[in-house]
Amino acid sequence: MPAPTRQRQLAPHLPVPTHARAAAPRCFATARGVLVCALCVVLAGCGGGEPATTARGPGPLPTRLADVSGAFRIAGVAAGLRGRVTLSLNEGFDSVVVGQAGSFAFGRRLAAGQRYEVRVASQPPGQSCEVLGGSGIADADVEGLQLRCREGSPQSVHALGAAMGGAGNASALVEDAQGRLFALTRNGGAHGQGAVIRIAADGAASVLHSFDGGAMDEEPQRLGLGPDGNLYGVATLDERHPHGVVFRLSPQGAYSVVHEFDDEVDGSSPSSPLLLAGDGRFYGLTGTGGRHGGGTLYRFLPHSGRVEVVHAFRDVQALQQRDPDRTCDSDGEADARVDDLYSPAGQLAEDPRTRTLYGTAIEGGMHGQGGVFGYALQSRTLRTVASIPDDFPSPSYGLVRTRAGELFGVLQRADEPLAMFRVQTDGRLRVYRWRERDHVPRVPRGVLAEGSDGRLYGISELGGEHAAGALYSFDPGGGSALLHHSFGEPGDPSRVGAYPASSPLITRADVIHGITGAGGPHGDGVVFRIR
Per-residue confidence (pLDDT) for residue 23, from 0 to 100: 34
CA 408 – CA 97 distance, rounded (Å): 37
CA 165 – CA 179 distance, rounded (Å): 21
Share of the chain above pLDDT 70, in %: 76
The pLDDT mean for the chain works out to: 77
368-411 pLDDT, tens digit per residue, is: 889 999 999 999 999 999 999 888 888 888 999 999 999 999 98
Query: Which amino acid type is present at position 195?
Result: A
CA 195 – CA 164 distance, rounded (Å): 7
CA 514 – CA 499 distance, rounded (Å): 11
Instruction: Kindly state the average pLDDT of the residues 358-369.
Output: 92
Per-residue confidence (pLDDT) for residue 317, from 0 to 100: 73
Residue 347 per-residue DSSP state: B
- Secondary structure class of 8 (helix, strand, coil): strand
- Secondary structure class of 511 (helix, strand, coil): coil
Q: What does each C-alpha distance from 512 to 90, 105, 466, 492 come to in angstroms?
A: 31, 34, 21, 22
Per-residue confidence (pLDDT) for residue 319, from 0 to 100: 61
Q: What does each C-alpha distance from 263 to 225, 260, 322 come to in angstroms?
A: 26, 10, 19
506-522 pLDDT, tens digit per residue, is: 998 888 988 888 877 77
CB contact at 8 A, 40 and 84: no
CA 294 – CA 317 distance, rounded (Å): 9
- The model's confidence at residue 75, banded by pLDDT at 50, 70 and 90, is very high
- Secondary structure class of 502 (helix, strand, coil): coil
CB contact at 8 A, 213 and 193: yes
| 3-state percent helix, strand, coil for the chain, nearest multiple of 5 | 5, 45, 55
Backbone phi, psi, residue 369, to 5°: -100, 10
Share of the chain above pLDDT 90, in %: 30
Residue 231 per-residue DSSP state: E
pLDDT for residue 496 is more than 50:
yes
CA 168 – CA 145 distance, rounded (Å): 44
CA 288 – CA 164 distance, rounded (Å): 30
- The model's confidence at residue 450, banded by pLDDT at 50, 70 and 90, is very high
Residue 162 per-residue DSSP state: G
**How many C-beta neighbours within 10 Å does residue 399 have?**
24
User: 386 Cβ partners below 8 Å, 6+ apart?
Assistant: 18, 19, 371, 372, 423, 427, 428, 429
User: 60 Cβ partners below 8 Å, 6+ apart?
Assistant: none
CB contact at 8 A, 442 and 460: yes
CA 531 – CA 520 distance, rounded (Å): 19
Higher pLDDT, 388 or 239: 388
CA terminus-to-terminus distance, the chain:
5
153-194 pLDDT, tens digit per residue, is: 677 777 776 666 554 556 678 898 888 889 887 777 777 777
Per-residue confidence (pLDDT) for residue 179, from 0 to 100: 87
- The model's confidence at residue 31, banded by pLDDT at 50, 70 and 90, is very low
Higher pLDDT, 7 or 309: 309
